Amino acid sequence: MRGMRHWFAASCLGLIAWLGLELCTFAHEARPAYLLLRQTTPDTFDLLWKVPAQGDNLRLGLYVRLPDTAERLNESHGMFVGGAYVERWRFREPNALVGSTIQIDGLRHTLTDVLVRIERLDGTTQIARLAPESPSLKVTAAPSGWEVVSTYFWIGVEHILLGVDHLLFVLGLLLIVNTTSALVKTITAFTIAHSITLALSVFSVIHVPDAPLNAMIALSILFLGPEVVRKWRGQSSFTIRHPWFVSFVFGLMHGIGFASGLSMTGIPHGEIPSALLFFNLGVEAGQLAFVLVAIWVTMSLRTLELDRAWWSRRIPAYVVGSLGAFWTIQRCLILVGLG
């Protein structure tokens, strides 16, 4: 039993260290790329390709590979706009792409995904989500209506699970609450708050530039670090007594961050309600999965009596505070043009 405890402790420490490195590297890089193919004549298409970018000179190395039968009709025109690199061109394909394969080169080496949308002259639309493990799409003649639902749902799931800064904020909240009722109230408040600002952002009611928004999200994580330390020291504060309130206030900012992942997909106006609904359901599903895993780890520590070890209390607090501080400094430097 003692050997098992040491093995479990070593595994947890290794996992925490690995997660720390991953979090530093991939925080908030969960924005999808977007490919729009709009049919203009029976055999020609206008192509719009939008790739996540940082600043005005650094973009993800993702490139569209059309079938060999496609003939480009003009040169591409690209520019950096609003945190993305956007390019457009026109091509001809004799079979209207039906039965052809479209591939995204470089996608296997990233953590992002690509939303592909094909709009045809007959009014039908094919939507698909390409991921690192499945970077290609075979164009069909009769797209399924289920595609919109499943595509935006899984984009929501991946956005929260890859948006590690959002997850770290949720982890900080979990480390503060100690009763089931407090947990339910806190997570519910976070859900309501980010759902409100997600909807307002998608409908363009509110807008916050990416740089200050990312800095504020990092600051919300940094804020929780000292509160977690106070908690395991047996001290009290407004946050510890009312975590649901802090969860709601900061959840408003995180909701705007969620909207950045959805807005990158260029949703047509008619699909905004369904896309928003299923994207948000995906975010909630991913968030719930993370909370359940965190609870399972906590229960495992208690079962093995490892919750009495110093690292089981201190390391999570220092991970939240340290990464929050790192991201705050990093993003503030970007905000002032020094990053």
Selected residue with higher pLDDT from 109 and 18: 109
Q: In the predicted model, is pLDDT for residue 322 greater than 50?
A: yes
- Which residues fall within 8 angstroms of residue 174, CB to CB, at 6 or more apart? 183, 291, 294, 295
Among all chains, which residue has been given the structure tokens 């992942």?
261
Per-residue pLDDT, averaged over 282-299, amounts to 87
pLDDT at 24 over 60: no
pLDDT at 268: 66
**DSSP symbols for 196-219:** HHHHHHHTTS----HHHHHHHHHH
Give residues with Cβ within 8 angstroms of 14, minimum separation 6.
none
Q: Per-residue pLDDT tens for 232-288?
A: 888 889 999 999 999 999 999 999 888 876 766 666 666 778 788 888 898 899 999
Give the start-to-end residue ranges of the domains of the chain: 2-28+163-335, 33-144
152 backbone dihedrals φ, ψ, rounded to 5°: -70, -30
Query: Tell me: the pLDDT tens digits for 125-140?
Result: 888 889 889 999 998 8
Q: What is the pLDDT of residue 310?
A: 60
Q: What is the mean pLDDT of the chain?
A: 82
The C-alpha atoms of residue 50 and residue 55 are separated, in whole angstroms, by 14
Q: Could you tell me the pLDDT band of residue 23, with boundaries at 50, 70 and 90?
A: very low
Find residue 49's DSSP bridge partners: 35, 87
CATH topology of domain 33-144: Immunoglobulin-like (2.60.40)
Q: What is the pLDDT of residue 7?
A: 40
